[in-house]
Every structure is written in structure tokens, then in C-alpha cells.
A and B are shown apart, each in its own frame.
Chain A
């Protein structure tokens, strides 16, 4: 039985490519400079697991972590 997924954007690595927001707008948002952060505490609602992994796979800076609680 797998636990809940969480996403996290490392603000030191993120350079604002905004791919995560485009691919998984439910999980990520951008600040006024266009840099990304996870929404809320990063918990991935059921059904959006694939999007979490998709966002991670498309980040050119490897700035996204997906962890299992």
C-alpha cells in the first residue's frame, strides 16, 4: 500500500522554466517573477500522481522532488 505523494520545488534550483505549472497547474504555482513553488504543503490529491511525476520528468533544472509519505 503506497502512501500519499508530496511534491516540492527546490527554490535554489528553480529557474522559472514554468514547465511544472504548464503540465500540472493543480500542483504548482508561480510567483511574481515566474519562479515555481508547490501549492499548499505539496500533497498530491488522488488521481494526480502521474502529473506529479510528469512535472518532475520535464523540469530542465531537476528542481522537483516527489516523495512518498
Chain B
């Protein structure tokens, strides 16, 4: 697969407009000024890195691409140095295009409605408090690595009916699939194989003894013709739920706590006015949207006057769209009671995140429980905040004192 003319090294970026790189340390550390600069220059920029990739930077350009499934395919949703072969059952429906997309998505939607995820809320509240119990006496902790990280992974394990104690395994797979694989394709292969073997074991166990969890629900699902899904489809969807449901929300919780740790006025306000939590959560989602998706251009077209050619990927930056001042006044400010906030943190169009209601519930509960028990906290000046690289952005090291 590897093309010898292609250089996997990533030299530092000197020209963001013609040679952007979302794995550059400056992007990882603070992408917002980069997006602002690019948005002023051009609504769609291009880089020759990653074997060719576009980046729309305005809300309108992102929206147009997200809505256009004729020219932009979801068969590849991560921008990497290499283009791994397309798998038939990648991770439906996130890797599906019409017409396969809708039936695959509809199978997964009912367990993720607001009412359905509300049933999980008591368990998530308990998970948060168990985690806080583990460090509250220390007066310090890593809020990303000891708190945010474990909340979604345990919640999704609980939903799927797999042991919460396997959380470490899942976190390792996700790290290899979403971060390490950008520059080392072998990480994708081995992590996907290990994850596949793990889930096949759980599928086989439920064939012998059905349970009431989400894995069983998927196994019992029927397609339009009344046939059950084959094991590979079930496996692909499980892979999606695990990959999409973990470091995304972990990042959103971590980024929210990061903001509150360094912004006393907002922290005090949210403690004093807990009824602001719903708009605050939406604002954290807008300002620190963790997920950048991708598309592959499959037919030539134009976006906002910029020609777009097949063979290139598109980095579909919902986070950059959500910082577009044409749609969000004071886009670079966090406004806890922002009234008008039609953000695209969960995507736009047919691929709207299935887990959006789960993510909102987890964020709300994680912030509420933290603020109840640790209303006063700040960044530990002795440690740097470290951010993840690539597709999902959030703090991975976030030392705080309280």
C-alpha cells in the first residue's frame, strides 16, 4: 500500500494556507488562531500532505460538504498519511453513504434517544462519584486522566453489557486507532484485530446465552427484508460505538473542566446558577467541539467557489465551523448563557452523531457532580496541559489543584 514517493515525515508548517497539517504541534496546542487566519484567506484551503486534503473553515463551507453525499463519501472518515483499503463493513453507519446509511443508522437510533439515555443517568452519576472518591482527599488530580477519561468508557461498557473493568483495553485501542494510526498504519490493523476478536467473543457468548444489553439488541435487529444482521455488521457497529463514544465525550468533559479551571468568573457563575448548565454545556460543545470528521472527494465539484477534486480527502472541521464569527457573534468567547447557538459539534446532515444525547447527558452529569464536590479548583502551574492530536481534540493531561 505504501507509496515510496510519499514522505510520512511531517515537517513543521510554515504556510498554513497551502500546506496545513492538523498534526502540527501548534494546531494541537491552539488551533483557533490558525482557523481564524485561514477563514479570512479562503473558505476552503488545501494541503498536499496526507496524499492531498482540503479544509473548509467557514460554517457555510462545512455545511455544504456535510450535506453533499454525492460528491463527498464517508467511506473514509479519518485523514491519515496512508489510505488504508476500504472495508466493506467499516463502522456503519458512520462509514456508510446513501442508500445503505439510513437503515444502518435507524437500527442504532432508538437506544440513544434522550429518554433512553436518561435511564443511564443514575449509573453515570455513580461512576462520577466513585472516580471523585478516588482523588478528592489528595487536593489535586489529573482531571483528564483520572476523571473525564473514565466516564464515557464506563458508561458505554455498561450500555453494551461488557465489563466496565475492561475500560483500559478500550482506551488503548482508541488511542491507537485515532491517534497513532495517522502516522503508523500498522497500529490501525493490530488494534482493530484485537478489538474484533474481543467483540466476536462477546457475540458468540450471547448466541449461547442472550442478554438484555445493546450487543444483544443489535444481534436481534432485522434489516428491511427481515434478515438478521451478519456478525460483521454487528461487529462494525460495535466498533463504531466504542470508538465514537469514548474519547469524544472524554475530550468534551476535559475541555469544559479546563475552561472552568482557568476562568474563575464562569466557574463561580455556574456554581451559583446551576440552571445555566444546559446552555453552558451547549456553549462548551460549540467552543471546544472535540470532533473533526473527514470525507473523501469522489466527484469533482466546487465549494464556495473553490474547485474540489477527487482523490483528495476533506478534513470536515466542525470545530472550525463553530468558531465562525459570521454565524456566532463573539465566536472566540465562551458565553455560558449564549441564547442562539445552533452549533455543529455533533455534525450536520445525515451523519449527525448518534450518541449526541448520551454525550450531553454525560457532560452534564460529569460537570454537575464535579462542581458539587469540587466547586473551587484551578490549573496546577507546575504542569503543562497536554492536548490530543488529530481527529478528536481534548486535554489528555490536565493537572488541577483544589
Which of chain A's residues have a CB closer than 8 A to the CB of B357?
18, 34
Chain B residues contacting A62 (CB-CB under 8 Å) are 342
Contact among B110, B342, B349 for A58, CB-based, below 8 A: B342
Chain A, 2-23, contact with B by CB distance < 8 Å: what is the 0/1 string? 0000000000000111110110
Is B157 interfacial (CB-CB < 8 Å)? Answer: no
Which residues of chain B from 303 to 361 have any CB-CB distance to chain A below 8 Å in the complex? 339-344, 346, 348-350, 352, 356-357
B106 at the interface (CB under 8 A from A): yes
Considering only residues 346-396 of chain B, those with a C-beta below 8 Å from chain A are: 346, 348-350, 352, 356-357
| Interface set, chain A 31-67, CB cutoff 8 A to B | 32-34, 54, 57-62
Whether a CB of chain A sits under 8 angstroms from the CB of B205 is: no
B2 at the interface (CB under 8 A from A): no
CB distance from B112 to the nearest CB of A (A): 7
With both chains docked as a complex, state the minimum distance between the C-beta of B4 and any C-beta of chain A, in angstroms. Answer: 43
CA distance A61 to B348 in the complex (A): 7
Residues of B230-285 contacting chain A, CB below 8 A: 278, 282
Closest chain B residue to A62 by CB distance? Answer: B342
On whether the beta carbons of B278 and A22 are closer than 8 Å, the reply is yes
Is B113 on the interface with A (CB-CB < 8 A)? Answer: yes
Residues of A within 8 A of B352 (CB): 15-17
Contact A60 B348 (CB under 8 A): yes
CA distance A10 to B141 in the complex (A): 47
A30 touching B343 by the CB < 8 A rule? no
Q: How many Å lie between the Cα of A22 and that of B361 in the bound state?
A: 12
Q: Whole-angstrom distance between the alpha carbons of A33 and B106 in the complex?
A: 7
For the residues of A in contact with B, the DSSP-based class is loop
How far does the Cβ of A14 sit from chain B's closest Cβ, in whole Å?
9
State in angstroms the CA–CA spacing of A15 and B109 once bound together. Answer: 11
B110 touches A33 (CB 8 A): yes
CA distance A58 to B342 in the complex (A): 4
Q: For residue B100, give the distance in angstroms from its CB to the closest CB of chain A.
A: 17
Contact among B278, B339, B342 for A60, CB-based, below 8 A: B342
* Given A57-B340, A57-B342, A60-B342, A17 and B113 contact (CB-CB distance below 8 Å): no
Whether A34 lies near B114 (C-beta < 8 A) is: yes
Q: Which residues of A contact B346 (CB under 8 A)?
A: 17, 60
Contact, CB under 8 Å: A15 / B348: yes
A-chain residues with CB within 8 Å of residue B348 when the two chains form the complex: 15, 60-61
A30 CA / B356 CA spacing, docked (Å): 14
In the complex the two chains form, what is the Cα distance from A18 to B357 in whole Å?
A: 8
Nearest-CB distance from B142 to chain A (Å)?
31
Report the nearest B residue to A61, measured CB to CB: B348
A57 to B328 CA separation, bound complex (whole angstroms): 12
Say whether A15 contacts B339, CB under 8 Å: no
Contact B339–A57 (Cβ < 8 Å) = yes
- Residues facing A in B104-135 (CB within 8 A) are 106, 109-110, 112-115
Closest A residue, CB atoms, query B351: A15
Residue of B nearest to A35 (CB): B109
Query: Chain A residues with Cβ under 8 A from B349's Cβ?
Result: 15, 61
- A57–B110 Cα distance when bound, in Å, is 26
CB distance from B293 to the nearest CB of A (A): 14
Q: List, sorted by A's number, 5 A–B pairs whose CB atoms are closer than 8 Å.
A: A15-B349, A22-B278, A30-B114, A34-B113, A58-B342
Query: B: which residues have CB within 8 A of A?
Result: 106, 109-110, 112-115, 278, 282, 339-344, 346, 348-350, 352, 356-357
